[in-house]
Structure 1
Amino acid sequence: MADRTGGEPQIDGRSTRWDEHKAQRQLELVDAAVALIEEEGARFRVQRLAERVGLPRSVLYRHFKDRASLEEMIRRRVVESFMRRMEPTLTFEGTVEEAVRRVVGAHLDWVAQHPRLYAYMGVGEHAMGDGSLVADAKTAIALMLGERFKDVLAAFGVRQAPIRSVAVGIVGFVDTCVNQWVRDPERELSEEELREMLCRSVWAVLDAALRDLGVELSPRQRVADLEGR
């Protein structure tokens, strides 16, 4: 209600507390949905979620605009989980080889631990730039990697280079390979073999890109040591 004296509108504390309660309840229901997907698969039924949380389906829907908004919040929660796993690895601590293995390993480990959530994200259906949450997550990872690559090049005196495109290509390659591996009922590679193949391939692409820019870097080079060059 507006302040009759002409000051700022007054905020009802009860309304604020209700909004906080509603947001917390939504989060609890979304987390329950994530757990249900982990157990039963990507094509979960809202009725099963209602049974899980002990609410009639009609009451459950009062917390969300519609099923689409519920699924958007679930997808956002899953993407947040994936990004929490990936972000700490997007550094070049240790050697270049260790950095590559850390990033690839984090991606593959999360997918292997959460295959149903990965399927629910519909990763293979979203390419970078399509405006979806999944695409935005891929783009964010590629941009962060691109910044790290720029740091390495700067240590060699290379200030301008199309290295972001290389980062986007690497993220797309790893993502496509992992997505195909998860969906393949007759996997030709074990998880460890896939991990090794991805690490070798990522290094090969990065090494070729660096050589084109006149930079020769050993995979056993510690990136921190480059700062004193």
Structure 2
Amino acid sequence: MTEEAHAQLGPDEQAPDGRRLRWTEHRVRRRAAFVVAGTLAIDTYGPEASAEQIAETAGVSRTVLYRYFRDREDLRQAIADEAVAAVVASVLPKLQLSADSTPRQAIRSVIEVVVGWLAEHPNMYHFLRDRRSGSALEAVESTVADQVAALLKMFLMFFGIDAAKAEPGAYGIVGFVESSGSWWLARRSMSREKLTEIICDGVWYLLDGTARAANVHVGYDDPLPLEAFGQQGTDQEDS
């Protein structure tokens, strides 16, 4: 039996012995594989990659492809969700700091990942940006911004700076990075490395300016005072 014919059958017809769960798991795996094929097709053919091109990339017919999605919008939203998850998964680990972390290292590790993703997946970026009404790109920005805000709050509180500034500041930084990346994709007037350097410096100037306004001085290459902050948090809990 062909896959197209198999996909048209209900789980009871395909598994008369009652293996419904096995069939459901099969459909989940196949759908996930088609979503990955969709991301590859968009990278290859552009943001408007057709269902036929996605099906060709997946090695199936268009009819089989749509057995696993309600319609075109369901397919494209699933692709957007997959791309968002991939970006977030690559960025969040870089926001984990160690006792030896410096501002330069912390900022650069994140920016390198973001700029690298933009350079390697420009079509997917435009696909997500075109779907702003579906909250695809906002999901990346808000998730990363929330994590950045948590870090900023930690350090601002340690330095005695109003923590209420952390959240708008974090979203401002994320917006700055995304806008700079979008500008670069449209022009490619400098190297990826140069863009990374410029964005890193810009982020640092924003952070350093906020700290200096509160009469706090942190070196770009000085280890961040993680242990001191942890001790302060312990003291506050004990009081």
Structure 2 residue identity aligned to 1:122: R
Separation in 1 of the partners of 2:211 and 2:90?
27
Any conservation in 2 of the 1:30–1:73 contact (CA below 8 Å)?
yes
1:77 alignment counterpart:
82
User: Against the structure 1 CA distance between its residues 225 and 175, is the aligned structure 2 distance closer, same or farther, given a 3 Å change threshold?
Assistant: same
Structure 2 residue identity aligned to 1:79: V
Structure 2 residue identity aligned to 1:115: P
User: Against the structure 1 CA distance between its residues 52 and 195, is the aligned structure 2 distance closer, same or farther, given a 3 Å change threshold?
Assistant: closer
Report the CA distance between 1:65 and its aligned residue. 0.2
Separation in 1 of the partners of 2:49 and 2:151?
39
Separation in 2 of the partners of 1:107 and 1:69?
27
Separation in 1 of the partners of 2:222 and 2:163?
22
Report the CA distance between 1:14 and its aligned residue. 3.0
In the alignment, structure 1 segments of 5+ residues that lack a partner are 1-11
Any conservation in 2 of the 1:91–1:148 contact (CA below 8 Å)?
no
Separation in 2 of the partners of 1:41 and 1:99?
33
1:108 alignment counterpart:
115
1:170 to 170, 173, 180: 173
2:148 alignment counterpart:
145
Residues 109-146 of structure 1 show CA distances to partners (whole Å, capped at 9, x for unaligned) of 111122222222227x73xxx66122022011111011
Any conservation in 2 of the 1:85–1:110 contact (CA below 8 Å)?
no
Structure 2 residue identity aligned to 1:44: A
More helix by share: 2
The alignment status of 1:95 with 2:102, answered yes or no, reads yes
TM-score by length of 1: 0.83
- What count of residue pairs does the alignment treat as equivalent? 212
Any conservation in 2 of the 1:143–1:164 contact (CA below 8 Å)?
yes
Alignment map for 1:216-227 (pairs within 5 Å): 216-223=217-224, 224=226, 226-227=228-229
Separation in 1 of the partners of 2:228 and 2:103?
11
Report the CA distance between 1:226 and its aligned residue. 4.2
Separation in 1 of the partners of 2:216 and 2:77?
44
Structure 1 residue identity aligned to 2:211: L
2:210 alignment counterpart:
209
> CA-atom RMSD, angstroms?
2.2
Any conservation in 2 of the 1:92–1:148 contact (CA below 8 Å)?
no
Identity of aligned residues (%): 31
User: Against the structure 1 CA distance between its residues 200 and 53, is the aligned structure 2 distance closer, same or farther, given a 3 Å change threshold?
Assistant: closer
Separation in 2 of the partners of 1:137 and 1:52?
26
In the alignment, structure 2 segments of 5+ residues that lack a partner are 1-16, 233-239
Any conservation in 2 of the 1:86–1:103 contact (CA below 8 Å)?
yes
